[in-house]
Structure formats: structure tokens, C-alpha cells
Structure 1
């Protein structure tokens, strides 16, 4: 069985998502990584280490006790089979809107436990990126701008 067939079979076990809904759910973690890495007011440029931390956090989703999260991770890895993924905006406002849209999809289609696991996983991806050096302030605390970013993201994901 090919990887794409395994992903499609997994998709069928996690809910009846349309193609657009599935693309939203599978594309959101990557968009969050790119947005979290980007410098902004009070947020320094992080570099490769932060991007790798985000990818590591995505990969950690393979061990989650959620069919949805594991299926999304499998879909993300299956995307890298040479087929281009659609270009998506990574502006903070657009990513927050995508988070709110994902929450609406999850509210309609996902098991509540899978919904919570997915939203927490996406938040953990952003937190791993924000916790990479040099963004940390002395003492190991997050920079205030990173705390605001994570708070806004958590709000958009319905976690706050």
C-alpha cells in the first residue's frame, strides 16, 4: 500500500472532512511554524534552529493519542513526495483567521477529544518555535512579544 493510500485510509477513520477542510487542518501547523519564525515587533529573527524545533514538534504528533493528529502528521509527511503544496499566506492575521476556521471545522466534524488534541498540538508547535534561542530573554522566560503571539494563537484556537 502506498503512503498516499495509507493517508487516505487514515483520513476516512478520523472524520468526513472535505478536501478544503483537510488542507486547512494539514496546512495549519506549517503555516504556524513559518509565522512563529518570522521576526516582528519585539520578535527577533530566529533562524534555522527555530524552524527545526517546529518540525520536531510536528513530528511529535505521531505519538499523540489522537487519530486526527496522527493522520494530519501522516498527511504532512505524504505531501513531501514531490508534489507541490498550495502556497498559503503566513501573515499573522491570516494564520489567526485560519486557526479560527480550523476550530469551526473541528467543532462540526471532529470528536471533542481529537479536536482538543489537535488544537493543543498546533499550539505546542508554536511554543517550541518561540522557545528557541535567541528569542529567550535572560532567565529563560519568553520575550513579551512571543507571549502575546502565543496568547493570540491560543485564543484563535479556542484554548484561552
Structure 2
């Protein structure tokens, strides 16, 4: 199990492999972001995107899936997340793209009021198969402290 004490600021990781399908793009958009450029080829052709593209929220969801799979493989003592900062959709994501994630731990601090937990900030960048960044965000995490008495102070 990976606890707060095990994390080092500056640590980087590369993980994930997610194949974006046309069916999933349309299904997600139909439910959660029903804008024409996420649903219809002709409508999308008349926009900045030029063709059917995934919702930015879908890109977030695909990224989250890869992150959870990575955390699970690391057996992280995760306690959830209070949110994200600085979310940016940099390039459109299209059916046929293959996504992956790179992350870097940029900050960590132990809670003063609840010393059994620590807070982290991690910069995540999602890339397509051409190694072009398509999304960036800073994720805030909460992670269990292995030994709160030893770590506090």
C-alpha cells in the first residue's frame, strides 16, 4: 500500500491506454453534452472541430478511468479528491485517437486538523497517439497517512 509518507514531490509517472470510439463519443454526448459537434458529422464539419469530436467532459472521464486504473495498480491509500484546478482542453479528441496520461506530483502537505490524512496536487497531462497534449489539469488528492503521530509536527 502506498501512503502519504511514500510520496515524493517531483515524482513522475506515465500510464494508461484508452482507445476512443465513435460509438462511445456519441453515447457520452447524447447523455451528458448533447451539442451537435459531438453528435453529428455534418454539424461538426461546420465547426472549429472539423469533424465529430469527443466532449471535453468525456476526455475528463476517460482520463479519470486511466488514473483510477493506475492508482489501483499502485495500491494507493487514496481517500478521494476535493476537486481539480486549472482544467484545460487543449486539442480536440476524435474517434480513433488513443489516449495516455503523464502525471507529476507537484505538492503535498499533511493536514494539521486531521493528521491521519495528507493532501496532494498532481499535474496531469493527457496525450493523444501523436504525443500531442489534449488536456491538462491539476488534481487535488487526499491520501491516508501511515503513521499520523510520527509524521505530524
Q: Report if TM-score (shorter chain) is over 0.5.
A: no
Of Structure 1 and Structure 2, which has the larger fraction of its residues in helix?
A: 1
TM-score where L is the length of structure 1: 0.31
Q: Which has the higher contact order (CA 8 A, sep 6+)?
A: 1
Of Structure 1 and Structure 2, which has the larger fraction of its residues in strand?
A: 2
